[in-house]
Amino acid sequence: MPPKEVNYTFDDKELEQLKAFGEVRSHQAGDILSEEGEACVDCLITLSGESHIFVGQAADKKRVGFMERGQFAGDLTVLTGQASLSRVIMGEDGDILHIAHSQFKRLLVENSHLSDVFVRVLTARREFGRQSQNGGIIVIGENQDRHDLSIRQLLDRHGIPHTALSARTDPLAQQMMSVRGLEKSDLPAVLRGTLDPLVKPSIEELSAAFGLDLLPDEATADVAVIGAGPAGLAASVYAASEGLDVVTLDAEAPGGQAGTSSKIENYLGFPSGVSGRELAERASIQAQKFGVRLASPVSVKALSRDDDAYCLTLGDDRHLRARAIVVATGAQYRRLPIEDLERFEGRGIHYGATPMEAQLCGQQSVAVIGAGNSAGQGAVFLSETAKEVHIVYRRADIRETMSEYLVRRLEELPNVHFHPSTELKALHGVDGADEEDDHLTAVTWENSEDGSEERCDTSFIFMFVGAVPCTDWLPDTMSCDENGFLKTGDDLKDEDLEKANWPLERAPTRYETSWPRIYAVGDVRTRSVKRVASAVGEGSVVVSDIHAALSETNQL
- Give the pLDDT score at 323: 97
The helix-helix angle for 12-19 and 112-132 (nearest 10°) equals 100
- Give φ, ψ of 329 to 5 degrees: -75, -10
Assign 267 a pLDDT band (cuts: 50, 70, 90).
Answer: confident
Tell me which of 531 and 134 has the higher pLDDT.
531
- Give φ, ψ of 405 to 5 degrees: -65, -35
- Give the pLDDT score at 1: 44
- Give the pLDDT score at 556: 40
- Give the pLDDT score at 88: 96
Q: Please give the mean pLDDT across all residues of the chain.
A: 91
Tell me which of 142 and 13 has the higher pLDDT.
13
Point out which residues pair with 332 in neighbouring strands.
468
Is the bond into 420 cis (omega within 30 degrees of 0)?
A: no
* Strand 331-332 relative to strand 468-469, pairing: antiparallel
**Alpha carbon distances (Å) from 500 to 95, 301, 326, 507, 520:** 61, 19, 17, 13, 16
Res 57 pLDDT > 70: no
Contact 108, 120 (CB under 8 A): no
Please state, in angstroms and rounded to a whole number, the distance separating the CA atoms of residues 84 and 232. Answer: 26
Please state, in angstroms and rounded to a whole number, the distance separating the CA atoms of residues 4 and 120. Answer: 10
Q: Residue 417: exposed, middle, or buried by beta-carbon count in 10 A (0-12, 13-18, 19+)?
A: middle
Res 135 pLDDT > 70: no
**Residues 6 or more apart in contact with residue 404 via CB below 8 angstroms:** none
| Residues 196-229 pLDDT 10s | 999 999 999 999 999 999 999 999 999 999 999 9
- Taking alpha carbons only, the member of 330, 331, 158, 326 closest to residue 254 is 158
- Give the pLDDT score at 248: 98
Please state, in angstroms and rounded to a whole number, the distance separating the CA atoms of residues 475 and 119. Answer: 40
Query: What is the average per-residue pLDDT within 498-518?
Result: 96
DSSP 127: H
**Residues 6 or more apart in contact with residue 321 via CB below 8 angstroms:** 218, 219, 220, 221, 306, 309, 310, 311, 312
Contact 286, 120 (CB under 8 A): no
- Give the pLDDT score at 351: 87
- Taking alpha carbons only, the member of 126, 124, 111, 211 closest to residue 161 is 126
Res 95 pLDDT > 80: yes
By percentage, how much of the chain surpasses pLDDT 70? 96
Please state, in angstroms and rounded to a whole number, the distance separating the CA atoms of residues 329 and 317. Answer: 19
- Taking alpha carbons only, the member of 105, 133, 103 closest to residue 119 is 105
| Residues 148-195 pLDDT 10s | 989 998 998 998 999 899 998 889 899 999 989 999 999 999 998 888
